[in-house]
Structure 1
Amino acid sequence: KGQLVIKTNNSSYKISTLPGNDFPLFDNSNPTETFNINQEKLLTLLNKTHFSMAQQDVRFYLNGLLLETEPKRLKAIATDGHRLAASEMTIEKKQLNTTASIVPRKAIQELIRLLVNKEDVKAEIGSNSIRFAFNNLTFITKLIDGKFPDYNRVIPTNTEINIQLNSQALKPSLQRVAILANEKFKGIRLETTGNSLDLSSENPEQEEANETIPLQEKIKKIVVGFNVSYLIDAVGSCEGSAVCLSLNDEN
Structure 2
Amino acid sequence: MKFIIQRELILKPLQKISNIISGKNFLPILNNVLIKVKKKYIKLIRTNLEIEIIIKIISCKIYKSGTTTVLARKFFDICRSFPELSIINIEIKNLRLIISSNKTKFYLSITSENNFPKLEIYTYDLQFFIPINLLKNLIKSTQFSMSKNDIRYYLNGMLFEFSKNKIKSVTTDGHRLSISNMFIEGIKFNKSIIIPRDSIKELMKFLDNKKDFLNIKISNNNIFFKIGNYSLISKLIEGIYPDYKNICLKQYDNFLQADCNKLYEAISRVSLLSNEKFKGIRLYISKNQIKITANNSSHEEAEEFLNILYEGNNIEICFNAIYILDVLNILKCDKIKLLFNNNFSGIQIENFLNKGSIYILMPMHL
Same fold, TM exceeding 0.5?
A: yes
Check whether the contact 1:195–1:219 (CA below 8 A) recurs between aligned residues.
no
2:74 aligned partner = none
**Count of residue pairs the alignment pairs up:** 249
Q: Determine if contact 1:33/1:126 at 8 Å carries over to the other structure.
A: yes
Q: After the TM superposition, which segments of 4 or more aligned residues of structure 1 sit over 6 Å from their partners?
A: none
Q: Provide the C-alpha distance between the structure 2 equivalents of 1:182 and 1:156, rounded to a whole number of angstroms.
A: 30
Q: Which residue in 1 is equivalent to 2:213?
A: 120
Structure 1 counterpart of 2:122, one-letter code: N
2:343 alignment counterpart: 250
Which residue identity does 2:97 align to in structure 1? Answer: V
List aligned pairs for 1:176-195, cutoff 5 A: 176-195=269-288
Partner of 1:25: 119
- Describe the superposition over 1:141-160 as per-residue Cα deviations: whole angstroms up to 9, x where unpaired: 11112221111121121221
- 1:38-82 CA-to-partner distances (Å, cap 9, x unmatched) read 111111111110111111111111111111111111010011111
SS in 2 for 1:144: coil
Asked if the contact 1:61/1:102 (under 8 Å) is kept, the reply is yes
2:236 to 129, 140, 143: 143
In 1, Cα distance between the equivalents of 2:206 and 2:264?
27
Supply the RMSD in Å over aligned alpha carbons: 1.9
- Give the TM-score normalised by the residue count of structure 2: 0.64
Residue of structure 2 equivalent to 1:15: 109
Please state whether the residue corresponding to 1:36 is helix, strand or coil: strand
1:215 aligns with 2:346: no
Measure the CA separation in 1 of the matches of 2:125 and 2:99. 47
8 Å Cα contact 1:201-1:210 kept in structure 2: yes
Unaligned 5+ runs, structure 1 = none
Q: Distance in 2 between matches of 1:145 and 1:209?
A: 46
* From 106, 109, 119, the counterpart of 2:198: 106
- Contact 1:28/1:130 (<8 A) preserved: no
The structure whose Rg is larger is: 2
Conservation of the 8 A alpha-carbon contact between 2:147 and 2:157: yes
Identity of aligned residues (%): 33
Q: 1:1-251 counterparts in 2 under 5 A? A: 3-6=95-98, 8=100, 9=103, 11-20=105-114, 22-29=116-123, 31-92=124-185, 94-118=186-210, 119-251=212-344
Q: Which has the higher contact order (CA 8 A, sep 6+)?
A: 1
Report the AA paired with residue 170 of structure 1: L
